[in-house]
Amino acid sequence: MSSPTLCPTPILTVRDRLRGALWGLFVGDALAMPAHWYYDVAALRRDYGLIRDYQAPLEHHPNSIMSLASTGRAGRGSQEGEVVGGLILKGKKGYWGRPHTHYHRGMRRGDNTLNLLCVRVLLRRLTATGGCDPVGFLRDYIAFMTAPDRHNDTYAESYHRDFFANHARGLPPERCAGAEGHDTASIGGLVSLPPVIFAAWAQQASARGSAQGHAAVNEALLTQLRLTHRSPTLERYALALGDLLVALLEDPEARVDSLARDLARRLGFDVGKALAKVQREGVSDLAVIGGMLSPACYIDQSFPAVLYLATRYAADFEEALVANTNVGGDNCHRGAILGAILGTALGYAAIPPRWTLGLQAHADLETEIEGFLDRFLGSNQAGNEVPNHP
């Protein structure tokens, strides 16, 4: 009897990888949305069980501190300010003063949070102009954020509130990003960067692998980041994310677990030690994210947490996103970045179809993502418009 013929593993094209990365951003955020900023994991399990599919948020959130957040600027403080309610989140200010109100009350299962809706604003601008357009993006961002009834989220991170506090003072848009505060360097600041990284990388096809090509990607991502976040601390991690995504695109043999482990080590976290603890003691991911690392938004903790999950679940997009969701904390923004990384590594087919199809904005996202891919890779359906380079 002859041996069965083994089907070779398909080679992922650039189009496969970018499609996976962009869908991964939105999937990772929407899956985690109901459990966003839960720090009491027992309460998370009580309220939602083990989350494996999209759910709508409950009205009550046991760990919500939105009632302590300033409505006039970044961070905590008085709710007398009118940035929230007057300039942005019109009609939503009343919910901020209610204790234990869910940050995303009013949203539906499969909805994306505000930061990811802003990624869509950016995605459309990149596609329209064929590259980074800071002036155009800021104009679109301000229009989106200040128009009533453009979305159903209830909360806006500190950086949005700082931006519009400065905007209300009459500062020009390019100077409205707030100064670095205690939570400016948070992982929410990274979620807009993958489309910028991909656009700049595709435009540098002829220089791929050269110092010039990598410099162009770095310049593009820092330019975008500085429109809304003035944080040298955050920039270090933004550049690290760019390095990781570009490495996955340029080397079809690259292993995301090896790249993530090495990058974490350079940033000061030993993923190998964390994995050894989990395996040796038979404990859950909570021993790492919640034990060795904070589950909160701060970038020095949240980005290593992403790299840990990308290493542990390197071959399994679904289990990685489920694990991220169920450890709570700032899981929406971690999930978006994790989805982008593993989407780049594993391609679009690695994402469960029920997750892409279950997104509330599926039809519009498909149009926007395919439009972006056509603009930066061409419309060749074979997907080999920009070949991988070993």
Tens-place pLDDT, residues 283-326: 999 999 999 999 999 999 999 999 999 999 999 999 999 999 99
pLDDT for residue 293: 98
- 94-123: average pLDDT: 97
Tens-place pLDDT, residues 335-345: 999 999 999 99
DSSP letter assigned to residue 177: S
* Euclidean distance between CA atoms 149 and 190, whole angstroms: 25
**Confidence band, pLDDT 50/70/90 cuts, at residue 182:** confident
Phi–psi pair at 22, nearest 5 degrees: -70, -45
Tokens matching residue 176: 């409205």
* Euclidean distance between CA atoms 189 and 187, whole angstroms: 5
- 78-104: average pLDDT: 96
Within a 10 A sphere around the Cβ of 74, how many other Cβ atoms? Answer: 22
Mean pLDDT in the chain?
93
Tens-place pLDDT, residues 350-379: 999 999 999 999 999 999 999 999 999 997
Q: Is the CA virtual torsion 123, 127, 131, 133 positive or negative?
A: negative
Residue 236 class from Cβ within 10 Å (0-12 exposed, 13-18 middle, 19+ buried)? middle
pLDDT for residue 285: 97
Phi–psi pair at 80, nearest 5 degrees: -85, -20
Q: Is the pLDDT of residue 272 over 70?
A: yes
pLDDT for residue 15: 97
pLDDT for residue 208: 56
pLDDT for residue 46: 98
- 192-212: average pLDDT: 81
**Confidence band, pLDDT 50/70/90 cuts, at residue 200:** very high
* Euclidean distance between CA atoms 73 and 165, whole angstroms: 6
pLDDT for residue 5: 43
Q: Which residues pair with 101 in a beta bridge?
A: 60
Nearest to 28 by CA among 330, 249, 285, 254: 330
Nearest to 146 by CA among 111, 176, 179: 176
CA 53 from chain centre, in angstroms, equals 18
Q: Which domains does the chain have, with CATH numbers?
A: 14-62+116-133+185-377 (1.10.4080.10)
Tell me which of 92 and 8 has the higher pLDDT.
92
